[in-house]
Amino acid sequence: MRPTECVCDYDSWNPVDIAAGLPLCFHPSVMSSKNWRAAVDLTGRLLTAHGQGYGKAGQQSSHTTDSLQLWFVRLSLLTKLNLFQNAELEIEPFGNLDQPDLFYEYYPTVYPGRRGSMVPFSMRLLHAELPQYLAKPQEALDRLHNLKTVCLAILENLEKGLAEDGSMITLTQENRQGSLKLWRSRLSRVMYSMANCLLLMKDYVLAVETYHSIIQYEPQQRVQLLSGIGRIFLQIGDVKTAERYFQDVEKACQMTGSQPSHTTCVLMNRAFVSLSQNNYTEAHASFTEVLKMDPKNPVANNNAAVCLLYLGCLKESLGQLEGLVQQDPALYLHESVLFNLTTMYELESSRSTQKKQALLEAVACREGDSFNTQCLKLL
Amino acid sequence: MDVSQAKQEHLLALKVMRLTKPTLFTNLPVTCEDRDLPGDLFDQLMREDPSTIKGAEALMLGEMLTLPQNFGNIFLGETFSSYISVHNDSIQVVKDILVKADLQTSSQRLNLSASNSAVAELKPESCIDDVIHHEVKEIGTHILVCAVSYTTQYGEKLYFRKFFKFQVLKPLDVKTKFYNAETDEVFLEAQIQNITTSPMFMEKVSLEPSMMYNVTELNTVAGGDEGESTFGKMSYLQPMDTRQYLYCLKPKPEYAEKAGVIKGVTVIGKLDIVWKTNLGERGRLQTSQLQRMAPGYGDIRLSLEMIPDTVNLEEPFDIICKITNCSERTMDLELEMMNTRSIHWCGGLQSISGLRLTDTFLKRTYEYDDIAQVCVVCPYTNNEC
């Protein structure tokens, strides 16, 4: 195990640039072909080589920043594979990520002079979010709230001219700006997690408030956030309030000047309102308007096909979706689109199983081992 | 849900799918920072994912519509919508196809089909589609009966039916309470509970009064152009949550004197409730006519027409009372007003007492004390004294 290089005297939670010190062969491209299970196995083998991993629970651990990054990747992939229980089991020995052996000070020979936590912020975020996928959303919310408090405290210190931990170390202007930017983006990421968790808990009032409060930190996402809030109200059934939010979106779009993405957003919102008023014809027209500007837009294509079904045009709808999958499988072999396809196959004929098999074959050769075959409903 | 008949091989296949509103696909964001081992990879994957929101990939609620996964629940007052598809699974052309859809409940059989005429011919691999809608008005077992008749190319007439059973459940629990005011007004408190498994947006809860009453609803707070609901931001009702709505009913002047108002059972009106769920899925219910038992007033009723809320100390004030003869006979009455010794010189709520009515024929005296309260204030110091 090679010691990593000591780069600078940053304090808590500012992970070092690890690319320089990466000792083992884990290149991110292993994950780009979506063979996540294979990637998970690889992390397992590498961690074992590190002296951790399978069968080593309970023994004294020796962490490095690299090994922690490997753990982070492993846990992230388990989460992406929806293997939440496995992830929970494996993260459990880390406690609340503030055990002494997770600090630089614990390894004075390996990281001489360095202080603070070795745990990547992204790992803390994952650790906080995990309980909600295991039916313990309140615990996730509590952990996220703690993270938020820390981010706010650090930002306050930085804004007051202190270092992140409140000490009087002077930072250069460049470092201060860099640190402020980093912690602001971390804060808004935590707030997104909190809002998502509240939505999962069906606490719509708080979820809406939280999404709303992200706008001040990420003003360039105003249109997306307001539209998202509108969709939440549509899910509740409060069409009037949704329309008010969509009007705010239109105003925001007008203020920032017309961008194609904004026009798309406004049209999509309009389509959802039409849907909520049982006007599938209008909804289909709005989605089609989007396709005039952006013919490859996968959401507009999928949604237009869905509208066709509600208008009694099964064959047309199927034809549209099938055509898309054949033309551009990379874009359209998505869980949601495939689910819609298989649902329509079942409605169309008794020979739906054959068609689903054909789909599965098409998917298998493209998607790697991470694909969730449940959406093909072959059982 | 699918219970089909005898196993003859048919050339046509009938499939049915309930069309509840679609749902929005939700993502599970997994992110990292550039400094982490995966670098930009996780973000790249999320950007490439067609179902994420571009520019705000951490936003969980996407825009991609997903068709309903299963039949789900259906509640009284909702609209049952269904896709009915008849597909020619064979290699021959089929003629004279008639598709009928009926809904059978415990009390009636309703025809749901949009068209009642036969389709002349159906080629192989083609289908006949229909979407039916029906507002469900009964609780309990419903059976969708689909019947298909057709003629093969050899002239053989064939027929089959499929039955799809489903239960209609009760969505709301409604309890009502009446409160009688000292005047002729009646207050109705309607307690509504959501007994479904999803949140409900209460779009409208109104009381349609019977002929005899005018109604004022007391569920909005004045202010703004429309007035805000008394429930504030909580515009929706979570499963098992309850809400109370308040209405004030005043009998119309022409009915105020009628015997029915004063005694016995009166019909007050009915509640009209409209709610919405996912993506505007609508439900509507009306209660039956709500009835109220009038409080017993005896032979004579004393009620108040006009009384001020607040009066100044040591200043006379006017009240207007109404005396109603609730009996079957004519009465000769004498009115006597007795001073009470209002001993509490400190102000606050004072009771009006001391009215006596004597029926001169029967020599019976009716005493009316504590008929109303007024708030007495000291006009000099602007405080209650």
Residues of B in contact with A121 (CB under 8 A): 33
Residue pair B366/B356 in contact (Cβ under 8 Å)? The answer is yes
Domain end residue (candidates: A119, A147, A174): A119
A290 lies in some domain? no
DSSP labels, A19-67: GGG--S---THHHHTS-HHHHHHHHHHHHHHTT-STT-TTSPP---HHH
Residue A103 is given by DSSP the state B
Rg (CA), chain A: 24
Find the mean pLDDT for residues A11-26. Answer: 35
- Sheet bearing B364-368, strands edge to edge: B333-337, B355-359, B364-368
pLDDT value, residue A308: 97
Domain end residue (candidates: A96, A119, A142): A119
Nearest CA-CA distance, residue B215 and chain A, Å: 25
pLDDT value, residue B227: 60
Which of A74, A95, A71 shows the shortest CA–CA distance to A83?
A: A74
Residues 98-137 of B with CB under 8 A from A: 126-127, 129-131
Q: Which of A120, A195, A312 has the CB atom closest to B36's CB atom?
A: A120
pLDDT value, residue B383: 47
A309 lies in some domain? yes
Question: Measured in whole angstroms, how far is the alpha carbon of residue B29 from the centre of its chain?
Answer: 38
Cβ–Cβ gap A277/B236 under 8 Å: no
Residue A9 scores a pLDDT above 90:
no
Cβ–Cβ gap B31/A332 under 8 Å: no
A315 lies in some domain? yes
Pairing relationship of beta strands B157-169 and B74-75 according to DSSP bridges: parallel
Cβ–Cβ gap B35/A17 under 8 Å: yes
Helix H or strand E encompassing A248: helix A239-255
Q: How many CB atoms lie under 10 A from the CB of residue A190?
A: 26
Q: How many residues does chain A have?
A: 379
Judge whether A268 is closer than 8 Å to chain B, CB to CB.
yes
Give CA–CA dist A67/A352, Å, rounded: 48
Which of A297, A357, A126, A358 shows the shortest CA–CA distance to B51?
A: A297
pLDDT value, residue A268: 97
Cβ–Cβ gap A310/B87 under 8 Å: no
Residues of B in contact with A239 (CB under 8 A): 276, 280
Residues of B in contact with A339 (CB under 8 A): 66-67
Confidence of residue A53 (pLDDT cuts 50, 70, 90): low
Phi (first) and psi of residue A16, to 5 degrees: -75, 155
- Quote the percentage of chain A above a pLDDT of 70: 82
Cβ–Cβ gap B42/A76 under 8 Å: yes
pLDDT in tens, A69-122: 999 999 999 999 999 999 999 999 899 999 998 999 999 888 898 888 999 999
Q: Which residues of A352-373 are buried (b: 16+ CB within 10 A; e: fewer)?
A: beebbeebeeebeeebbebbee
Looking at residue B287, its amino acid is T
Residues of A in contact with B275 (CB under 8 A): 237
Of the residues A84, A238, A243, the best mutation for testing chain B's interface (the one with the most B CB atoms within 10 Å of its CB) is A238
User: Two tokens at A145?
Assistant: 């709230």
Q: Counting Cβ atoms within 10 Å, is residue A288 exposed (0-12), middle (13-18) or buried (19+)?
A: middle
Which of the two residues, A221 and B314, has the higher pLDDT score? A221
Residue pair A118/A66 in contact (Cβ under 8 Å)? The answer is no
In this structure, the answer to whether residues A266 and A326 fall within a common structural domain is no
Q: How many CB atoms lie under 10 A from the CB of residue A244?
A: 14
Range of the domain at A89: 20-119
pLDDT value, residue A21: 33
Give CA–CA dist B210/B191, Å, rounded: 20
In this structure, the answer to whether residues A26 and A115 fall within a common structural domain is yes
In this structure, the answer to whether residues A256 and A300 fall within a common structural domain is no
pLDDT value, residue B136: 95
pLDDT value, residue A61: 67
Give CA–CA dist B308/B296, Å, rounded: 26
User: Two tokens at B6?
Assistant: 């005898």
Phi (first) and psi of residue A326, to 5 degrees: -70, -40
User: Two tokens at B311?
Assistant: 């009066």
Of the residues B59, B125, B135, B234, the best mutation for testing chain A's interface (the one with the most A CB atoms within 10 Å of its CB) is B59
A247 lies in some domain? yes
Q: Which of B53, B59, B236 has the CB atom closest to A236's CB atom?
A: B236
Judge whether B91 is closer than 8 Å to chain A, CB to CB.
no
Cβ–Cβ gap A348/B279 under 8 Å: no
In this structure, the answer to whether residues A223 and A268 fall within a common structural domain is yes
Judge whether B38 is closer than 8 Å to chain A, CB to CB.
yes
A161 lies in some domain? no
Residue pair A220/A255 in contact (Cβ under 8 Å)? The answer is no
pLDDT value, residue B198: 92
Q: Please say whether the dihedral angle defined by the alpha carbons of residues A320, A321, A327 and A332, taken in this order, is positive or negative.
A: positive
Looking at residue A251, its amino acid is K
Cβ contacts of A135 within 8 Å, gap of 6 or more: none
**Beta partners for residue B13, in sequence order:** B87
In this structure, the answer to whether residues A303 and A248 fall within a common structural domain is no
Closest residue of B to A309, CA-based? B83
Q: Let me know the angle formed at the C-alpha of A190 by B279 and A156, rounded to the nearest 5 degrees.
A: 135
Q: How far apart are the two ends of chain A, measured CA to CA in Å?
A: 47
Q: Please say whether the dihedral angle defined by the alpha carbons of residues B295, B301, B302 and B304, taken in this order, is positive or negative.
A: positive
Q: What is the CATH number of the domain that holds A337?
A: 1.25.40
pLDDT value, residue B293: 79
A93 lies in some domain? yes
Closest residue of B to A240, CA-based? B203
In this structure, the answer to whether residues A330 and A266 fall within a common structural domain is no
Of the residues B57, B65, B71, B81, the best mutation for testing chain A's interface (the one with the most A CB atoms within 10 Å of its CB) is B65
Q: For chain B, what is the largest distance between any 2 Cα atoms, rounded to a whole number of angstroms?
A: 106
Q: How many CB atoms lie under 10 A from the CB of residue A315?
A: 16
Of the residues B18, B21, B61, B282, the best mutation for testing chain A's interface (the one with the most A CB atoms within 10 Å of its CB) is B61
Give CA–CA dist A33/A46, Å, rounded: 19
Residue pair B99/B148 in contact (Cβ under 8 Å)? The answer is yes
Closest residue of A to B280, CA-based? A276
A258 lies in some domain? yes
Confidence of residue A6 (pLDDT cuts 50, 70, 90): very low
Looking at residue B161, its amino acid is R
Residues 308-347 of A with CB under 8 A from B: 309-315, 331-332, 334-337, 339-340, 343-344, 346-347
Give CA–CA dist B26/A335, Å, rounded: 11
In this structure, the answer to whether residues A248 and A339 fall within a common structural domain is no
In this structure, the answer to whether residues A268 and A301 fall within a common structural domain is no
Pairing relationship of beta strands B157-169 and B140-151 according to DSSP bridges: antiparallel
Which of the two residues, B218 and A299, has the higher pLDDT score? A299
pLDDT value, residue A3: 29
Residue pair A35/A42 in contact (Cβ under 8 Å)? The answer is no
Nearest CA-CA distance, residue A57 and chain B, Å: 24
A361 lies in some domain? yes
pLDDT value, residue A244: 95
Find the mean pLDDT for residues A265-272. Answer: 96
The least confident of A207-211, A244-248, A366-370, B201-205 is A366-370
Nearest CA-CA distance, residue B346 and chain A, Å: 47
- How much is the ipTM here? 0.86
pLDDT value, residue B7: 55
In this structure, the answer to whether residues A27 and A113 fall within a common structural domain is yes
Give CA–CA dist A114/A9, Å, rounded: 6
CA distances from A176 to A11, A164, A172, A264 (A): 13, 9, 6, 38
Question: Measured in whole angstroms, how far is the alpha carbon of residue A182 from the centre of its chain?
Answer: 18
Confidence of residue A16 (pLDDT cuts 50, 70, 90): very low
Nearest CA-CA distance, residue A215 and chain B, Å: 11
Q: How far apart are the two ends of chain B, measured CA to CA in Å?
A: 74
Spell out, as residue ranges, where chain B has pLDDT lower than 50.
1-2, 4-6, 259-260, 343-346, 382-385
The least confident of A176-180, A276-280, B362-366 is B362-366
pLDDT value, residue A374: 65
Residue pair B41/A32 in contact (Cβ under 8 Å)? The answer is yes
pLDDT in tens, A179-192: 999 999 999 999 99
Q: Which of A31, A334, A347 has the CB atom closest to B41's CB atom?
A: A31
Residues 206-265 of B with CB under 8 A from A: 233-236, 238
Phi (first) and psi of residue B86, to 5 degrees: -115, 120
Residues of B in contact with A31 (CB under 8 A): 38, 41
In this structure, the answer to whether residues A59 and A108 fall within a common structural domain is yes
Q: What predicted TM-score, i.e. pTM, was given to this entire model?
A: 0.83
pLDDT value, residue B324: 79
Cβ–Cβ gap A299/B275 under 8 Å: no
Cβ–Cβ gap A196/B29 under 8 Å: yes
pLDDT in tens, A307-364: 999 999 999 999 999 888 888 887 887 888 989 998 998 898 767 667 777 776 776 6
Residues 322-381 of B with CB under 8 A from A: none
Residues of A in contact with B21 (CB under 8 A): 275-276
Cβ–Cβ gap A202/B199 under 8 Å: yes
Residues 237-266 of A with CB under 8 A from B: 237-239, 241, 261
Tally of structural domains, chain A: 3
In this structure, the answer to whether residues A266 and A305 fall within a common structural domain is no
- Count CA atoms within 13 Å of residue A309 on its CB side: 31
User: Two tokens at A212?
Assistant: 């709303």
Mean pLDDT for chain A? 84
In this structure, the answer to whether residues A41 and A87 fall within a common structural domain is yes
As a dihedral over the C-alpha atoms of residue B40, residue B42, residue B44, residue B46, rounded to 10 degrees, the angle is: -150
